[in-house]
Structure 1
Amino acid sequence: MTEIGHGTAATGSGTMSTALFRWPPEARLHVHGQQVREGEGSDRAGAQDLVALRAAIRTGRAFSVGPGGVSRLSKERAGYFHSRSGGTTGAVKTIRRSHASWIASFEVNRNHLSLGSEDRYAVLGVPAHSLALYALVEGAHLGADLHSFAGLRPRQQAQGVKAAQATILYATPTQLRLLCETGAELPCLRHVLCGGGRLTPELRLRIAALCPKADLREFYGAAETSFVAWGDGSGPEGSVGRAYPGVEIRIDAKEGAIGEIWVRSPYLFDGYAEGDSAETRERDGFVTVGELGQLDKEGHLTVAGRRNRMVTIADQNVFPEDIEAFLLSDPAVTHCAVVPRSDPRRGTHLVAVIDGPAEAGLCDALLVRCRRAFGPLAAPRRLQVLDEFPLTLSGKPDLARIAQALERQA
């Protein structure tokens, strides 16, 4: 049986009719605590891409954002932009997306979260990271002040958010974990929107102490789909919430079983301008990026992991993402990746990689906990510490480089 989750759409306020991003004069741009005024800041550290983004939006021309910065697209129609990213596996993809597909979600967030020009957005990443780009463009479109703290250490970021009296923060679980470790308190925040990874119950508690007055919302999505589901933590443990307003979720499996997640919504991308993905497919207006999950009867979505990362060990399907989330629940672990290795007896075994330095005995203790939680076959056979943990531009584990590092150490 196919299960479908529906999100009730919100009514827009007329902004969607323009189908173009806005960056009005009242949306002031700040980099590392200093305002970047019109006609200045292109030579200031961290400001060049933001100034280029502001200029591209204000002229209404198509633009591209990627590791190389922000540039205009001469052969693309107005009302579209390209987002280029290497991803966790190293495969280059350039996503083509309309302004309207993001504007639709700006209006949903405006209505559901009461966002507006009186807010102050804090952004911790660079525009090449899709989460940071979305936060910057949403904030500007709504006329809010923007504060970029990309490139600063977590303690400096926390101090900057507090000094700016920021009210809205978009961040990944890793970014929030690092902020929590500073011991800071950010009572100015009223909304924290977390995407780009799993939010463990332990981290939720730490974020509540970090931002005691904030409403924390976890959301699930992909660069190709934008928002798919969101929640406030009130659903079953491990779920990412219910369908985002305007989204239909379909699971290709029997009721309650794990299957491929298919999505139909106004927020979908317009295809790849460069590269491709065998996991991304379209059918009857629905799109999948190859992730697996399940819906319960109340419409809560639980994401198991990507199909292309699932491994079979002794006839048991294992999702490395589950083990990564388990290891990241330990405050001593900031970054983690679980990768498969060839095994002459089982076919495959797993190796867990965490960031260093690690205290003596930590690896052994984590392995014991994993064996208790997942069983001796599914648990990682060993745990490796990397002092220089490879990350993508978006702050996610670079699985290709991690696998290469393990090969060199074999």
Structure 2
Amino acid sequence: MTPVTQPWRSIPELVRSAAERFGAAEAVVDGDLRLTFDELADRVRRTAGAFASTGVGPGDRVALWAPNSAEWIIAALGLLSAGGVLVPVNTRFLQEEAHDIVVRSGAKALLVQNGFLDRDFTGPPGVPVIDLKKDGFLASGRPLRYGPAEDDLADIVFTSGTTGRPKGVMTTHGQTLRLYAEWCDLAQLRQGDRYLIVNPFFHIFGYKAGLIASLIRGATVLPLAVFDVERVLELVERERVTVLPGPPTLYHSLLEAAGGRDLSSLRVAVTGSADIPVELVRRITTELPFRHLMTGYGLTEAGTVTASRPGDPYEAVATTVGRPCEGVEVRIADDQEVLVRGYSVMRGYLDDPGATAEAIDPDGWLRTGDLGELDEEGRLRIVGRKKDMFVVGGFNAYPAEIEGFLLEHPAVAQAAVIGVPDARMGQVGKAFVVRRGAITETELIAWARERMAGFKVPRHIEFRAGLPLTATGKVLKDRLR
């Protein structure tokens, strides 16, 4: 495949280009709100002015802690158009988790949507909080046009490592535009497509492979704040959705609930955020109307790394995550760890040169922490995780972080968490706990739900008298499995 080139140096230039190319076509459909590409660009310019009026300028960071919506799109694109740097925050995070990211990112403001999931979203001391839906902020500015450079920082997307401490991944405008222009080809995204974005915008799957890709191609974005299979089916039927990416759990739900519904408009499926059973791939392509299924492998630190290609044989799509994207190299280290090098690799972790040096070697190879192998045709197969991470319905869960939370309970002496198979979610957490006081499984799970995002909360807890340890005191998790 020849390198994908694009005429835009920045995401704001892409927004303006989309208005010029697609004009009166629908850009965003969110409930009763329908915006054309022209109208979206106009609102983005006004929001850029609103940010500028509050003192947000080139290089300043703003955190966005809100669900998928038209307002999220306008706020994010408006911020970038003011030269700001976007810091998306996971809406499932509780206050302590979110405030840590807002503070460490140095965000000058925090945008929220109060009432989502019946919650009030607060900010840390000294950081102004703006409600996207209620404060009128997005429409309050004079139109502003600013053009960041290709190598300017566009966003800081926080992820977590095996230590459980979130790290801010820094990516530029040019990196995102080049990679997701190619993604459009690989996914066969077309002008006029209607793209139901179930994947959250705080994740690169929803933000970059969703919103940015749609602007590149001229697809209509239909943002969904909370996954509900009946709502998805209703939107597919009424809005004639053609593109519906998501984690494997999305397609499991569709297969269970699709009977009697008109899903004939569906054309493109994209998955790969978790292990994909071969049988699920078969069912997606035979029992649902999708005519193209793309599987792939990626991570926040490098975006989409590999992807299947149109025309790849069924067996390859079902058992591998495809070949590297253009300009991206993949090799397998002696210990089977997947290493990645290329233009899309992050500029580093925010304010953490030690972690950056640990992740990227002097030759530019990014250590992914995943274990894999390459077949004779260069397709990557992921065989395990060097990190202790497991994936719950498309969300990365890190045992070290969860264990840290559990150890805060006065009745917990030791805790070890692993991922165990789950028919619906792919994997869920199971905690092995040594008690120092009286506590039941139900009580500990309820306590955990008050302190961490729902996907991190262990679904099962097994109490033990002790945990198997190495000579240096590390838990032998293989024995627990």
Q: Aligned with 2:458: secondary structure?
A: helix
> Cα gap change, 1:130/1:72 in structure 2, threshold over 3 Å: closer, same or farther?
farther
* 1:119–1:144 contact (8 Å) kept in structure 2: yes
Bigger proportion of residues as helix: 2
Greater relative contact order (CA < 8 Å, ≥ 6 in sequence)? 1
The equivalent of 1:136 in structure 2 is 211
* 2:14–2:216 contact (8 Å) kept in structure 1: yes
Q: 1-side partners of 2:31 and 2:316: how far apart? A: 37
Q: 2-side partners of 1:110 and 1:308: how far apart? A: 30
Shift of 1:203: 1.4
> Cα gap change, 1:392/1:155 in structure 2, threshold over 3 Å: closer, same or farther?
farther
Return 5+ residue gaps in structure 2 as ranges.
Answer: 48-65, 92-97, 110-147, 390-398, 400-417, 435-440, 466-481
The equivalent of 1:239 in structure 2 is 320
Q: 2-side partners of 1:175 and 1:274: how far apart? A: 36
What is the TM-score when the length of structure 2 is the normalising length? 0.59
Shift of 1:149: 1.7
State how 1:8-407 maps to structure 2 within 5 Å.
Answer: 8-12=1-5, 14-17=6-9, 22-23=14-15, 24-25=18-19, 26=23, 28-32=27-31, 34-36=33-35, 46-67=69-90, 79-85=152-158, 87=160, 90-134=164-208, 135-183=210-258, 184=261, 186-209=263-286, 211-231=288-308, 233-235=314-316, 238-253=319-334, 259-273=336-350, 276=355, 280-309=359-388, 327-328=421-422, 330=423, 333-337=424-428, 341=432, 397-398=455-456, 401-402=457-458, 406=461
Q: Aligned with 2:316: secondary structure?
A: coil
The equivalent of 2:403 in structure 1 is none
> Cα gap change, 1:293/1:338 in structure 2, threshold over 3 Å: closer, same or farther?
farther
Shift of 1:57: 4.0
> Cα gap change, 1:236/1:100 in structure 2, threshold over 3 Å: closer, same or farther?
closer
Q: 2-side partners of 1:60 and 1:47: how far apart? A: 20
Number of matched residues?
338
> Cα gap change, 1:392/1:164 in structure 2, threshold over 3 Å: closer, same or farther?
farther
Shift of 1:73: 6.3
Shift of 1:58: 4.2
Shift of 1:198: 1.5
Q: 1-side partners of 2:451 and 2:271: how far apart? A: 18
Q: 1-side partners of 2:286 and 2:12: how far apart? A: 38
Return 5+ residue gaps in structure 1 as ranges.
Answer: 1-7, 311-319, 344-352, 354-384
Q: Aligned with 2:257: secondary structure?
A: coil
Shift of 1:248: 1.2
* 1:32–1:149 contact (8 Å) kept in structure 2: no
The higher radius of gyration belongs to: 2
What is the TM-score when the length of structure 1 is the normalising length? 0.68
Shift of 1:304: 1.9
- Percent of aligned pairs sharing the same letter: 22
The equivalent of 2:144 in structure 1 is none
Q: 1-side partners of 2:186 and 2:388: how far apart? A: 34
* 1:95–1:271 contact (8 Å) kept in structure 2: yes
Q: 2-side partners of 1:33 and 1:99: how far apart? A: 31
Shifted more, 85-94 versus 163-172: the winner is 85-94
Q: 1-side partners of 2:232 and 2:384: how far apart? A: 31
Q: 2-side partners of 1:44 and 1:274: how far apart? A: 27
- Which amino acid in structure 1 is aligned with residue 193 of structure 2? D
The equivalent of 2:142 in structure 1 is none
Q: 2-side partners of 1:391 and 1:230: how far apart? A: 36
Per-residue displacement from partner, 1:333-371 (whole Å, max 9, x unpaired)?
33523657589xxxxxxxxx9xxxxxxxxxxxxxxxxxx
What CA RMSD, in Å, does the superposition of the two structures yield over aligned residues?
Answer: 4.3
Shift of 1:309: 2.1
> Cα gap change, 1:96/1:88 in structure 2, threshold over 3 Å: closer, same or farther?
closer
